[in-house]
């Protein structure tokens, strides 16, 4: 048998190299998607905190609006009602037409 001139291709080494390259690429791209998901998770956590804060504000407003103080304030400002013994003073705009 005649020997081939040149280098022999080592199939086992080639397969191992290709698998190693695949694993490294997968780790690099997989790691970047993990970082992106963690960033997205942090953003969503901030949005959730903001939503909870807004909910607390709205609940406080709702509690106030259901109180007698709020009803009295609305009656005075919007409806012009007064308590017994009080005098209502309003500014009247008087513009004369030419």
pLDDT at 26 over 60: yes
33-88 pLDDT, tens per residue?
Answer: 888 889 999 999 999 999 999 999 999 999 998 998 888 888 888 877 888 788 77
Instruction: Give the total number of structural domains in the chain.
Output: 1
User: Is residue 87 in some structural domain?
Assistant: no
- Domain residues for the domain of 56 are 11-77
Report which of residues 96 and 77 the model is more confident about: 77
| C-alpha–C-alpha distance, residues 34 and 5, integer Å | 49
Specify the DSSP class assigned to residue 5: S
| C-alpha–C-alpha distance, residues 17 and 25, integer Å | 12
Look at residue 1 in the predicted model and tell me its pLDDT: 46
75 contacts 81 by C-beta, under 8 angstroms: yes
User: Is residue 55 in some structural domain?
Assistant: yes
User: Is residue 34 in some structural domain?
Assistant: yes
| C-alpha–C-alpha distance, residues 65 and 74, integer Å | 9
> pTM of the predicted model, to two decimals?
0.50
């Amino acid at each position: 048998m005649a020997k081939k001139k040149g280098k022999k291709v080592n199939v086992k080494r080639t397969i191992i190299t290709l698998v190693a390259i695949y694993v490294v690429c997968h780790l690099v791209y997989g790691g970047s998607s993990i970082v992106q998901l963690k960033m997205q998770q942090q953003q969503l956590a901030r949005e959730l905190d903001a939503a909870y804060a807004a909910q607390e504000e709205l609940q406080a407003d709702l509690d106030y609006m259901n109180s007698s103080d709020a009803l009295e304030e609305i009656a005075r400002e919007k409806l012009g009602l007064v308590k017994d013994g009080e005098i209502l003073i309003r500014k009247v705009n008087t513009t004369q037409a030419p």
